[in-house]
């Protein structure tokens, strides 16, 4: 176990309203830990015992079946958290969590944290708002799965990941075809074929896991 500095807890947005005495209590129960890439931090269905906040790095929330097929629910980054359902009365992990790069996180035992936070309705309200935003995001994804084909889902993902830079849309996050396939719920072969065709048409440049969108992507494939 690694000790976390009190000012780090102060700087976590979720805890910004806590009094100094409660930051001290948080400090006593906090556990800071580092993990390398590709470590599974939580399995879907297992008991929810800790609430975790990312201090650096990123993790993937995903669901999988017995054959190993995966679908990505979302990517969590610095200041994001998981295990929040435990603070709202849920007892089991709703999705699996795996690190996508080196990660530093701080975790808290659920029972102790709930006892502390019940005095801060504002924190619980923020958790509820964040959870509502997640539900909205998942509803949008469900709509895409129901109404969009693989190509439509893929270009939505590409646009959501891209930022404007040097006159083009650049996806700076290194992402593999396998990871893209997991995010859109398709086979890697299908995603590879679409990316190849978009590259051949001059719509994207795809090199060493970096993707740039050179011009408006076609609406249909």
Cβ atoms 181, 211 nearer than 8 A: no
Beta carbons of 131 and 84 less than 8 angstroms apart: yes
156 has a pLDDT exceeding 70: yes
> Each residue of 158-187: pLDDT tens digit?
998 888 887 778 888 888 888 899 888 888
Q: What pLDDT score does 45 carry? A: 92
Q: How far apart are CA 47 and CA 42, in angstroms?
A: 9
Q: Answer whether residue 139 is part of any domain.
A: yes
Assigned token pair, 100: 């996508």
Residue 181 counted as domain residue = yes
Residue ending a domain, among 122, 146, 170, is 146
Q: What is the pLDDT of residues 44-66, one digit of tens each?
A: 999 999 999 999 999 999 998 88
Residues 188-215 have a mean pLDDT of 88
Apex CA 214: angle with CA 208 and CA 220, to 5°? 100
110, 178: one domain: no
169, 109: one domain: no
Mean pLDDT of the chain: 87
The per-residue pLDDT for range 120-142, each reduced to its tens digit, is: 887 878 888 888 888 888 888 77
Band of pLDDT at residue 119, cut at 50, 70 and 90: confident
Token pair, residue 61, equals: 């929330």
Rounded-to-integer distance, Cα 62 and Cα 41, Å: 12
Residue 209 confidence (pLDDT) above 70: no
Is residue 49 in some structural domain?
Answer: yes
In a domain, 67, yes or no: yes
Residue 220 domain flag: no
pLDDT more than 90, % of the chain? 37
pLDDT-derived band at 97, boundaries 50, 70, 90: very high
Same domain, yes or no, for 179 and 166?
yes
Three-state SS across the chain? CECCCHHHHHCCHHHCCCCHHHHHHHHHHCEEEEECCCCEEECCCCECCEEEEEEECCEEEEEECCCCCEEEEEEECCCCEECHHHHHCCCECCCEEEECCCEEEEEEEHHHHHHHHCCCHHHHHHHHHHHHHHHHHHHHHHHHHHHCCHHHHHHHHHHHHCEEECCEEEECCCCCHHHHHHHHCCCHHHHHHHHHHHHHCCCEEEECCEEEECCCCCCCC
- Same-domain check for residues 78 and 187: no
Domain range enclosing 116: 6-146
Give me the CATH number covering residue 108: 2.60.120.10
Residues 16 and 109 in one domain: yes
Domains in the chain, number: 2
User: Are 127 and 165 members of one domain?
Assistant: no
Is 153 found in the same domain as 67? no
**How much is the pLDDT for 15?**
86
Mean pLDDT value across residues 59-88: 88
pLDDT score of 205:
87
Do residues 60 and 44 share a domain?
yes
Average pLDDT (26-37) is: 93
Can you give the pLDDT at residue 17? 79
pLDDT reading at 87 higher than 90: no
Q: For residue 196, give the CATH number of its domain.
A: 1.10.10.10
pLDDT at 7: 84
Are 142 and 198 part of one and the same domain?
A: no
Do 108 and 17 fall within a single domain?
Answer: yes
Is the per-residue pLDDT at 10 higher than 90? no
- Looking at the fold, whether 27 and 52 belong to one and the same domain comes out as yes
Q: Which of 95, 119, 146 is the last residue of a domain?
A: 146
pLDDT (0 to 100) of residue 65 = 85
If asked whether residues 90 and 167 sit together in one domain, one would say no
User: Is 218 within a domain?
Assistant: no
On whether residue 221 sits in a domain, the answer given is: no
């Amino acid at each position: 176990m690694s000790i976390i500095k009190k000012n780090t807890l102060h700087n976590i947005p979720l805890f910004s309203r806590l009094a100094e005495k409660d930051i001290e209590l948080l400090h006593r129960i906090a556990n800071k830990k580092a993990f390398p890439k590709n470590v599974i931090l939580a399995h879907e269905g297992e008991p929810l015992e800790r609430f975790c906040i990312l201090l650096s790095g990123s993790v993937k929330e995903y669901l999988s079946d017995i054959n190993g097929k995966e679908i990505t629910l979302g990517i969590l980054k610095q200041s994001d958290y998981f295990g929040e359902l435990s603070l709202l009365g849920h007892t089991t992990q709703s999705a699996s969590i795996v690190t996508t790069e080196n990660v530093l996180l701080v975790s808290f035992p659920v029972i102790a944290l709930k006892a502390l936070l019940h005095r801060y309705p504002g924190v619980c309200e923020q958790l509820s708002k964040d959870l509502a935003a997640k539900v909205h995001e998942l509803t949008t994804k469900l709509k895409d799965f129901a109404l969009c084909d693989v190509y439509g889902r893929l270009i939505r993902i590409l646009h959501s990941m891209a930022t404007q830079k040097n006159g083009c849309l650049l996806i700076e996050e290194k992402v593999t075809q396998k990871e893209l396939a997991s995010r859109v719920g398709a086979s890697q072969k299908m995603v590879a074929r679409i990316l190849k065709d978009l590259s051949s048409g001059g719509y994207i440049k795809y090199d060493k896991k970096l993707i740039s969108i050179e011009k408006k992507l076609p609406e249909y494939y």
